[in-house]
Chain A
Amino acid sequence: MILTFKINGEWVTQEIKPSLLLIDLIRDVLQLKGTKPGCLEGECGACSVIVNGDAINSCMYLAINVDGKEVTTIEGLENNENPLHQVQEKMLEHGAVQCGFCSPGMVMTTKAYSDKCIAEGITPTREEVKKSLEGNLCRCTGYAKIIDAAEAVYK
């Protein structure tokens, strides 16, 4: 079947099998390797991407469901003026990156959450920030620095 969707700001049309998962479309078909496969079971959040403003696990999402929608992957955060998004800058400043395999997922989850908070004019509490990251596992950092970085986005 034919799928038309916007990825990282560009409309693309792609012939796909209906059973294709979004993560496979992103990593294998479109060759965007920044989205990471940590479990392919919806448990770790390493594969998080943003679809129409919401962070979702791309390993649990059929590619056909992005038809007509707007998808942002970690690669989509880069532009000519700013190679890194503010969330990424904060993660680096706070030492929130160790092995880095969880990092793209952490970035996308934090970006989606902070975009929403900022749009609604809310500054979340630390507990709320923690909650927003609950679906993203990290084995290296113990989360503290990732939470610090996510909080710093509002400062």
Chain B
Amino acid sequence: MMKVIGKSHQKLDGKERVSGKAVYGHDIELPNMLHGSILRTKYPCAEIISIDTSKALSLDGVECIITANDVDVNNIGYKKDHPILKKGTVNCNRDEIAAVAARTKEIADKAIQLIEVEYKIKEGVYDPFEALKETTPRINEFGKGAEQFGNKNMAESFHYEHGNLEEQKAKSKVIIKKRYELPRVTHACIATSNITAEFNNFDGRLTLWSSTQVPFLYQRDIAHALKMEPSKIRVIQPIIGGGFGSKLDMHPFEPICALLAIKSGKPVQILYSREEEFIASPTRQPMVIELTTGCDENGKFTFREVEIIKDNGAYTSWGATTPFVMMQSYSSLYQVPACKFDSHAVYTNNPFAGSFRGYGNPQATFSIESNIDLMAEELGMSQAEIRLINANYKGEITGQGLHFKTCGAIPALKTVIEKSNYDKIMATPNTGRYRRGVGLGSMLHVGGGAKIYRSDGCGTTLKIDDYGYLTIVTGSNEIGQGSETVLAMIAMEELGIPKEKIKVINTDTDVKPWDVGVHASRTSFVAGNSLLGAIKLIKEKLSKKAIELLDVVTDDWEYANGMMRFNEFEIKLDKVVREMHFASPHELCMVNYFYEPPSKFQDKDFKGDVSGNYAFASQAIEVEVDTVTGNVRVLNVHVSQDVGRVLNPVGLQGQMEGGLATGIGYALTEEMIYEKGVLKNPSFHGYKMLTSTDMPDVHFYPIETYDEAGPYGSKGAGEAPLIPTAAAIANAVSNALGVRFYSLPITAEKVLRALASPTPPKEGLLREAKPVTKHQ
């Protein structure tokens, strides 16, 4: 019987957060600290003729100014195609030209206005299809597209296939080919981007208070950018006001802040304004997906063939690697005998996309789930039935080599179909002003980390002190998702130490052991397993000492209420530790453990069991569409997710609801509107996120499959809730209106336009279909 796991526990440092005592990057003030500000380009595509900083420098209170000419640095980014400060050319409206450090933020902002830049404006390229044309000039001078992919503006390319496509096409009774367009949306963390940097010129050490999600990769990246030794850089994470993937890449403002601190000899802080946050922080990948899928006369899927053009923007971030995740959904969400996947990220003069919760999967899932409904329609089969007969099952090894040792796909689907009254709603005639519809969407995502870096591991150090307090030093990070609470719960469960006596230390790279970082829904899984490994070691230590002290022979101790117990023998934990410490041979009660998940690297064809386990989920979403205003209202969301095992119910529910809110925004309201590379809605007023009144009722049904790879059988859960949401909503709107939408968001205007068209078009609703250009 579990005492702690599976029961709701409040957030470990929730009191600090809810009382305003938690220290975020915005709250840090160091002695003599300066404030930094960045000059960004006026035009998204131009040549820089000259930069004159003299007026700005003479402004009282300005301490230093840097431009590309003042610094000796390396390019940054996943493809090292991104200069921190630009010279020669600017390629997108985020581009950093100069940075100022001044005594106050106002002075720094004023100084920025005084920097004179002369530009030669160029016609930019804002459409990736245009960028692929022979006649289009090269956009990123560091891009290796010509050598690597046969097209100068290709930033990254992925190809995957399994099965015999032609054979499966021949078997198909129905083939559906559709083109989907996905918008640019952004994380919109409520805390804007921030960093504080301090340089010690005695020993050449740099301290960064940074909101990164991946401190150890970040340390290495900053070191490379600044040509420093990584170990001279100490990364301290203050409390982070939202991540969602936005802090996976290191962004130019971070090394810029470090450079200002190095040059001025004083600490420097950069805080983004909300407008700057919209303009200059990452986005989800916009893309055009052309998906062809088939099924036989019984509705069994035969093949999927997909061609994706992603708008990479001007530089390449981790976001370019989202096809790793997308191809898993195309190859392995449902049983698919044959699959061919091609994805090309193309440079444009748009801002570059980064990584965002779901990592390409919401886009892929939207296309897959829409095509499934279309195939069912064509066959005259129920949308529920076609999913059930193709769903994944336990024991399956997919064409890509993903091994589903446990699988809750069918139970999840069945649950949401039943709970949402799917059949009844679908059978209800739908006329009048308000039309109701329900739609289904399922998803597959990694649940046990993802081996994409050389190690997907996490280290843990444990210490029990003379008073029976436990310190967990974990490599993993907390970005609000609640992982540190889960770690404390595991320790409470295993060691019987109460919550008040547990400390989690996880914010300082000088102290904590290595970990990849927060991504791929991995933290509870990887850090949890690492902690369990460490606990096993510390129990061995405690057991050895207790045996000696009590003169019994056992390794079957019960740990509860700060005691170790075996039959009639018992001893206080702190007493054991003190004896260990103060009596010969004088030892500390400390251990180190490193956990590396059993997942494998994929081979060069992207085949292999890449994650420790896999999460499955289905959603049935009920909407009501107002045919007069075009508004879509989400009424009910039924979510069923294979989480392996519920660790902290209240934390899990929070992840569900938060993910869904972002997913609903993606489906219905959120879109960054660009005109020729310039963002037209950089504010919360123009960029419509959900508010409290838009949130529907959420009905969550966890499926527990007890996967042996995860801590207590659990699987990663954080990203999944938003992955199938847009897909299910689009299907619901289509079922309500009989009109299908192939692009997001499904705004009121789009609905009205679709309803106004005399014969609602079945495809290519919002844009002329363009052929997907193939590269050589």
Mark A residues whose CB is within 8 Å of B. Answer: 32-41, 43-44, 46, 73-75, 77-78, 83-84, 88, 91-95, 97-104, 107, 127, 130-131, 133-147
Residues of B near A88 (CB, < 8 A) are 15, 18-19
Residues of B near A142 (CB, < 8 A) are 654, 656-662, 690, 695, 698
Residues of B near A41 (CB, < 8 A) are 274, 683-685
Residues of A near B274 (CB, < 8 A) are 38-41, 43-44
Q: Is the interface of A mostly helix, strand, loop or mixed?
A: loop
**A137–B665 alpha-carbon span in the complex (Å):** 13
B8–A147 touching, CB < 8 Å: no
Which one of A34, A91, A100, A135 lies within 8 Å of B480 (CB-CB)?
A100
**A139–B27 alpha-carbon span in the complex (Å):** 20
**A103–B691 alpha-carbon span in the complex (Å):** 15
A43–B242 touching, CB < 8 Å: no
Does B179 count as interface, using CB distance less than 8 angstroms? no
Residues of A near B692 (CB, < 8 A) are 130-131, 133-134, 136, 143, 146-147
Stretch at the interface among B65-73, B182-190, B390-398, B429-437: B182-190
Residues of B near A38 (CB, < 8 A) are 190-192, 274
- Contact digits for B460-480, partner A, Cβ 8 Å, 1 yes 0 no: 000000000000000000011
CB distance from A29 to the nearest CB of B (A): 13
**Count of B residues near A, CB < 8 Å?**
55
Which one of B27, B653, B661 lies within 8 Å of A33 (CB-CB)?
B27
- Contact digits for B648-685, partner A, Cβ 8 Å, 1 yes 0 no: 00110110111111100000000000000000000111
Which one of B18, B243, B651, B683 lies within 8 Å of A91 (CB-CB)?
B18
- Contact digits for B22-43, partner A, Cβ 8 Å, 1 yes 0 no: 1110110000000000000000
Report the number of A-B residue pairs with Cβ-Cβ less than 8 Å.
Answer: 175
11 A-B residue pairs with Cβ-Cβ distance under 8 Å, sorted by A, are A44-B190, A78-B19, A83-B19, A92-B10, A93-B10, A97-B11, A103-B18, A139-B189, A139-B689, A140-B654, A146-B692
Does B482 count as interface, using CB distance less than 8 angstroms? yes
Which one of A36, A84, A94 lies within 8 Å of B191 (CB-CB)?
A36
A98–B19 touching, CB < 8 Å: no
Residues of A near B650 (CB, < 8 A) are 94-95, 145
**A145–B695 alpha-carbon span in the complex (Å):** 11
B654–A95 touching, CB < 8 Å: yes
- Tell me the nearest residue of chain B to A149, going by C-beta: B18
Residues of A near B657 (CB, < 8 A) are 141-145
- Tell me the nearest residue of chain A to B665, going by C-beta: A139
**A73–B273 alpha-carbon span in the complex (Å):** 22
Which one of B11, B22, B661, B683 lies within 8 Å of A95 (CB-CB)?
B11
- Tell me the nearest residue of chain B to A147, going by C-beta: B692
- Tell me the nearest residue of chain B to A144, going by C-beta: B657
**A74–B273 alpha-carbon span in the complex (Å):** 23
A95–B10 touching, CB < 8 Å: yes
**A149–B220 alpha-carbon span in the complex (Å):** 42
Does B240 count as interface, using CB distance less than 8 angstroms? yes
Which one of B192, B242, B659, B662 lies within 8 Å of A99 (CB-CB)?
B242
B191–A43 touching, CB < 8 Å: no
Residues of A near B15 (CB, < 8 A) are 83-84, 88, 92
**A127–B24 alpha-carbon span in the complex (Å):** 32
A134–B691 touching, CB < 8 Å: yes
CB distance from B455 to the nearest CB of A (A): 27
A134–B693 touching, CB < 8 Å: yes
- Contact digits for B271-282, partner A, Cβ 8 Å, 1 yes 0 no: 001100000000
* Complex interface residues of chain B between 176 and 203 (CB less than 8 A to chain A): 187-192
Residues of B near A94 (CB, < 8 A) are 650
CB distance from A58 to the nearest CB of B (A): 13
Which one of A32, A46, A135, A139 lies within 8 Å of B188 (CB-CB)?
A139
Residues of A near B656 (CB, < 8 A) are 142
A44–B684 touching, CB < 8 Å: yes
**A83–B242 alpha-carbon span in the complex (Å):** 26
- Contact digits for B630-653, partner A, Cβ 8 Å, 1 yes 0 no: 000000000000000000001101
Q: Which 5 A-B pairs have the closest CB atoms?
A: A34-B20, A100-B17, A99-B480, A142-B657, A101-B241
CB distance from A12 to the nearest CB of B (A): 19
**A134–B21 alpha-carbon span in the complex (Å):** 24
Does B204 count as interface, using CB distance less than 8 angstroms? no
A98–B658 touching, CB < 8 Å: yes
A98–B187 touching, CB < 8 Å: no
A33–B20 touching, CB < 8 Å: yes
- Tell me the nearest residue of chain A to B239, going by C-beta: A100
Residues of B near A136 (CB, < 8 A) are 692
- Tell me the nearest residue of chain B to A90, going by C-beta: B18
B654–A43 touching, CB < 8 Å: no
**A91–B11 alpha-carbon span in the complex (Å):** 10
Q: 12 new A-B pairs (CB below 8 Å) besides A33-B26, A34-B20?
A: A39-B684, A43-B685, A84-B18, A84-B19, A97-B14, A99-B189, A99-B241, A101-B24, A101-B189, A133-B691, A140-B190, A145-B653
Does B218 count as interface, using CB distance less than 8 angstroms? no
B684–A77 touching, CB < 8 Å: no
Known: A74-B19, A139-B187. A95 touches B653 (CB 8 A): yes
Residues of A near B240 (CB, < 8 A) are 99
Does B244 count as interface, using CB distance less than 8 angstroms? yes
**A142–B482 alpha-carbon span in the complex (Å):** 15
Most buried by B among A32, A38, A84, A127: A38
**A137–B689 alpha-carbon span in the complex (Å):** 8
Does B400 count as interface, using CB distance less than 8 angstroms? no
Residues of B near A103 (CB, < 8 A) are 17-18, 20
B244–A107 touching, CB < 8 Å: no
CB distance from A153 to the nearest CB of B (A): 14
CB distance from A149 to the nearest CB of B (A): 10
CB distance from B212 to the nearest CB of A (A): 14
A141–B26 touching, CB < 8 Å: no
Does B481 count as interface, using CB distance less than 8 angstroms? yes
Residues of B near A139 (CB, < 8 A) are 187-190, 242, 244, 658, 661-662, 689
Residues of B near A83 (CB, < 8 A) are 15, 19
